[in-house]
Structure 1
Amino acid sequence: MSLARIREEQAENYYGDRKRALDIGVLGPLSLRFGGEVNTPSAPKLRNVLTTLIVSAGQVVPVSMLMRELWDEEPPQSWLTTLQTYILNLRKLLASFTGTATSEIAGTMLQTRAGGYVFQLGSGTLDLREYQTMVSAGREQLAAGDDLSAVRTFDAALRLWRGPAFVDVQGGRVLESKRRQIEESRLVVLEHLIGAQLRLGMYHEVLTELVGLTVENPLHEGLHAQYMLALYSLGRRAEALEVYRRLRNSLIEELGLEPGSQAREVHQAILDSDGAQVLVPQQRRFGDAGWSDPTRLY
């Protein structure tokens, strides 16, 4: 058999397997895709259990954690039996959706482990895991001083989002905590992305994004500092100073606090400049300290 034919068969086997893989999305509405079809449980409690297991895919989720997610501190007397019923129903649903025996689902995809359950992706995909992998790669590129590659990587990671994390799941305490963690990660990635874009001189590209982000996050000092830098670098010094004024007023009114050093230093650097020349971002390694003009913060 020729090498070309071997490669063709390998490709056929790979894509054949991928068609039978379960592709899951939680960066937006909960989505389970198999063989081109999309399906999710309709019962709220099943959605809660499934999402809690998915966001910890590959890790054992303790029974106690699932109990807190479903009933907080007031579980019914029969909570363990009820939870086991939910797990069984999920296995049946996954078996029906994938055309697999329930016993096989129990042995491969939704396994019982000592003290809890674990959801195994196998050959399937999870957008959250892909996102986390890309973010790690982007951080490494920042650390190496490769802003252009970091911009591309972070942008690809953020494009995986289809809306707020598992927006259509009415989560309990556990899922709400996880949701906030994931959403905060997105905000941090946006800040890293915009910082790299500022260093590359992409002021126009970030301005529209920052307008919306600062409205959505009126107390986020990092985003406001970046907004000030973008405006100043485009020759809009007065508007940059107005952004600081609004941030300061919001912090004082809401928290009784003055802006931190990051926003203050950008503000002072803009005040000290004559506004006659747009500052040019200077490349630096991620994590380096020290700067000689406002853009060195990023």
Structure 2
Amino acid sequence: MFTDLTRHGQAHLRAGEHAAAATLLHDALALWRGPAGENITATGTLTQQLADLDEQRVIATEDFIDARLALGATSSLLHDIRALVLDQPLRDRPWEQLMRALYLTGDPAGALGAYQKARKSFNEALGIEPSGRLQQLQGSILQRDELAIARLAS
């Protein structure tokens, strides 16, 4: 059920049908009640399958946020995006979503601050700079280039 709803939601997201995508992805995520296999002692293949399910949940969450951002629900998403960044500090996409949401709510300084936090996280944990995509978004925010910010969102 989760996989089917997610797959359909992602298809609507790719087609630019943000309202349908948000509804389907919301319904998929509503099926979750904690980490996959939370009360199971897993080994071997099952451990990988549970990790794959958790990865699917994170991707569905990111897709849901993208759909909602496209619908203009920026302020209401900030709490959820910040929670995702805390949970997944080494993933580009939540940082990008946070930067976009902050910028779109009229807080370009907050968006640039988020970039600096992302940069610090990546440097400290992995010894690398943020992705080119995050660097492009930072440059677009510095230039207040609305079209470039919108292009990066798709």
- TM-score band by shorter chain is over 0.9
AA matched with 2:111: A
Greater fraction strand: 1
- How far the C-alpha of 1:204 sits from its partner, in A, is 1.4
Q: Alpha-carbon deviations, 1:191-233, whole Å to 9, x = none?
A: 1111111111110121110111111111111110110000011
1:295 aligned residue (132, 146, 150):
150
AA matched with 2:25: F
Structure 1 residue runs of 5 or longer lacking an equivalent are 1-129, 280-291
Q: Does 1:155 align with 2:26?
A: yes
User: How many residues end up aligned between the 2 structures?
Assistant: 153
Greater fraction helix: 2
Please show how residues 73-112 of structure 1 align to structure 2 within 5 Å.
none
Q: Does 1:225 align with 2:96?
A: yes
- Higher Cα radius of gyration: 1
Q: Alpha-carbon deviations, 1:170-198, whole Å to 9, x = none?
A: 10021111111110111111111111111
- Counterpart of 1:293 in 2: which secondary structure? helix
- Counterpart of 2:39 in 1: which secondary structure? coil
AA matched with 1:217: Q
Aligned mates of 1:133, 1:151 — CA distance in 2? 14
Residue 180 of structure 1 corresponds to which residue in structure 2?
51
Percent of aligned positions that are identical:
31
Q: Does 1:246 align with 2:106?
A: no
TM-score between both structures, scaled by the size of structure 2? 0.94
Alignment RMSD (CA, Å): 1.3
Aligned mates of 1:142, 1:246 — CA distance in 2? 28
Residue 60 of structure 2 corresponds to which residue in structure 1?
189
- How far the C-alpha of 1:293 sits from its partner, in A, is 2.1
Q: Alpha-carbon deviations, 1:93-141, whole Å to 9, x = none?
A: xxxxxxxxxxxxxxxxxxxxxxxxxxxxxxxxxxxxx001101111221
- How far the C-alpha of 1:295 sits from its partner, in A, is 2.6
Q: Following superposition, which runs of at least 4 residues in structure 1 exceed 2 angstroms of deviation?
A: 295-298
Higher relative contact order (CA 8 A, sep 6+): 1
TM-score between both structures, scaled by the size of structure 1? 0.50
Q: Does 1:270 align with 2:141?
A: yes
Residue 138 of structure 1 corresponds to which residue in structure 2?
9
Please show how residues 66-77 of structure 1 align to structure 2 within 5 Å.
none
Does structure 2 conserve the Cα–Cα contact (< 8 Å) formed by 1:199 and 1:295? no
Q: Does 1:198 align with 2:93?
A: no
Structure 2 residue runs of 5 or longer lacking an equivalent are none
Aligned mates of 1:294, 1:249 — CA distance in 2? 22
